[in-house]
Chain A
C-alpha cells in the first residue's frame, strides 16, 4: 500500500528532509543526501562571493531537478527579512515551496511566532507554499494552519541542540489537530529521536546537525533514513497496549 508523503499537493517518497548546512564540503553533502535517500533538502540564500569566482556551487553537486530545494530563511529575525529572502529564492528558479523560520533570539534560536504568523499570511497571499518552523504550541500551530501554512514544523528542541523531543504531549496534540503535514524540525540528536517523532504520528522529520555533526555523517544519514521508516511503519502498525505486569509469550499449557 503506498504511503506517499504529500505536501502542497506534491508527492514525495521519503519522509525525511535533510539540511545541507555544516558539511565539510559539497562532496560530503552529496554523499549524505544519497545515503539518506531524501527527496527534499533545505538550502539557505546568501550573497555570491564576488572575490572568488571559481568557488564551487551547491547546484553543481545537488541537482535541483532531481532533489527538491526548500529555500529557508535561516538568520532572519523579522518578517521583512524573511519575505525579502524568499522572494529572492523564488526568483532564482521559481521555487514556491519554502521553509519559513523567523527567529526570536540568537542564543536559543526559538521562533518569533508573532512575526512568523504575519510572514506566513503575507507569503501565502503572494502565492508561496509555506512550510513553517514553529514552537511546539498547539494554539499557535493552529493559527499557522489558519494563516495558510502547507506544513507545520514544530521544534523537538532548540536548533542544533540534539536533545530530542522535549514535549511529546504537545507534538501529539499538534498532530491530532492539524490537517496539513506535521514535520518535527530541529532538536533531533540521533536515530531514536527521529523514530519517536514518527511513532507519535508525525508525517516527517527534518534533520541537519544530527547528521552533520556525527563523527560519520554518511553512516548517520543512513541511520536516519531507516529510523524514519521504522517509526512510520510502527505508527501505521499500531503498537500493542502497555501492561503493568508480564504476559508470557509462550503457551502456558502442556508444559513438560
Chain B
C-alpha cells in the first residue's frame, strides 16, 4: 500500500522519497548541503535562495541541485 505521508520526486534525475510538505530548505538540510554552494531548479525554474523555505515540494516535482566542479 502506498504511504500517504511521503511523495516521490525526481532529484538530479533519480527517484527520491520525501515527506509530504517538505520545503527546499528542509531537503537541503536532509542532504547536508549548504545553500551558498548550490543552485536549485524546480521543474525547470531557478529558485532564488531566499525562497527555499517557502517552496513546498510536490509529488513528481523535478528538482536539480547543481554546484561547481573542476572544469576547463
Residue A43 CB within 8 A of the other chain: yes
Q: Are B68 and A69 in touch, CB under 8 angstroms?
A: yes
Identify which of B16, B36, B39, B68 contacts A50 (C-beta below 8 A).
Answer: B16
Residue B64 CB within 8 A of the other chain: yes
Inter-chain contacts of B69 with A (CB < 8 A): 43-46, 58
Q: Are A88 and B72 in touch, CB under 8 angstroms?
A: no
Inter-chain contacts of A19 with B (CB < 8 A): 70-72
Min Cβ gap B16→A in Å is: 7
**How far is B13's CA from A47's CA once the two chains are assembled, in angstroms?**
9
Residue A251 CB within 8 A of the other chain: no
Count A-B contacts at CB 8 Å.
96
Please give me the residue from chain A that is nearest to B48 by CB atom. Answer: A91
Identify which of B33, B48, B70 contacts A58 (C-beta below 8 A).
Answer: B70
Q: Are A44 and B65 in touch, CB under 8 angstroms?
A: no
Please give me the residue from chain A that is nearest to B41 by CB atom. Answer: A88
Identify which of B16, B39, B71 contacts A91 (C-beta below 8 A).
Answer: B39
Inter-chain contacts of B48 with A (CB < 8 A): 91
Q: Which of A21-29, A164-172, A192-200 is near enough to bind chain B?
A: A21-29
Q: A88-B39, A93-B36 are in contact. Are A48 and B70 (CB under 8 A)?
A: no
Q: Are B39 and A72 in touch, CB under 8 angstroms?
A: no
The residues of B with any CB-CB pair to A shorter than 8 Å are 11-14, 16, 31-33, 36-41, 46, 48-49, 64-72
